Amino acid sequence: MIIVLRPHATPEQIEEVIKEVGILGYEPRPIHGAHQTVIAAIGDETTHHTLESLNVLPQVEGVLRVQKRFKLVSRESHPEDSVIDVDGVKIGGSQFVAMAGPCSVESEEQLLSTARAVKAAGASILRGGAYKPRTSPYEFQGLGREGLRLLDLARRETGLKIITEVLSERDVEHVAAATDILQIGARNAQNFRLLTEAARTGKAILLKRGMSERIEEWLLAAEYILAEGNSNVLFCERGIRTFETYTRNTLDLSAVAIAKKESHLPVIVDPSQGCGRADLVCALCRGAVAMGADGIIVEVHPNPAEAMSDGQQQVDFAGFDALMRDLDPLLAAVGRTR
Ligand code: PEP
Ligand code: MN
Mean pLDDT score, 34-38? 94
CATH architecture of 84-333: Alpha-Beta Barrel (3.20)
Q: Is 129 in the pocket of ligand 1 (CB under 6 A)?
A: yes
Q: How far apart are CA 164 and CA 128, in angstroms?
A: 6
Q: How far apart are CA 45 and CA 62, in angstroms?
A: 17
Res 12 pLDDT > 90: yes
Phi, psi at residue 133, to the nearest 5°? Answer: -85, 95
pLDDT value of residue 49: 79
- pLDDT band per the 50, 70, 90 thresholds, residue 41: very high
Q: Is 272 in the pocket of ligand 1 (CB under 6 A)?
A: no
Mean pLDDT score, 278-303? 98
Which residues have C-beta within 8 Å of that of residue 3, sequence separation ≥ 6? 17, 21, 38, 39, 41, 51, 54, 60, 62, 63, 64
- pLDDT band per the 50, 70, 90 thresholds, residue 260: very high
Q: Is 185 in the pocket of ligand 1 (CB under 6 A)?
A: yes
Mutate to test the pocket of ligand 1, among 99, 103, 309 (most ligand atoms within 8 A of CB): 103
- pLDDT band per the 50, 70, 90 thresholds, residue 46: confident
Phi, psi at residue 71, to the nearest 5°? Answer: -115, -65
Q: How far is the CA of 260 from the centre of ligand 1 (A)?
A: 21
Q: How far is the CA of 64 from the centre of ligand 2 (A)?
A: 40
pLDDT value of residue 15: 97
Break the chain into its structural domains and give their ranges: 2-64, 84-333
Q: Output the CATH code of domain 2-64.
A: 3.30.70.1140
For the entire predicted model, the pTM comes to 0.94
Amino acid letter, residue 1 = M
- pLDDT band per the 50, 70, 90 thresholds, residue 5: very high
The model's pLDDT over 77-124, given as tens digits with 9 standing for 90+, comes to: 999 999 999 999 999 999 999 999 999 999 999 999 999 999 999 999
Mean pLDDT score, 54-83? 94
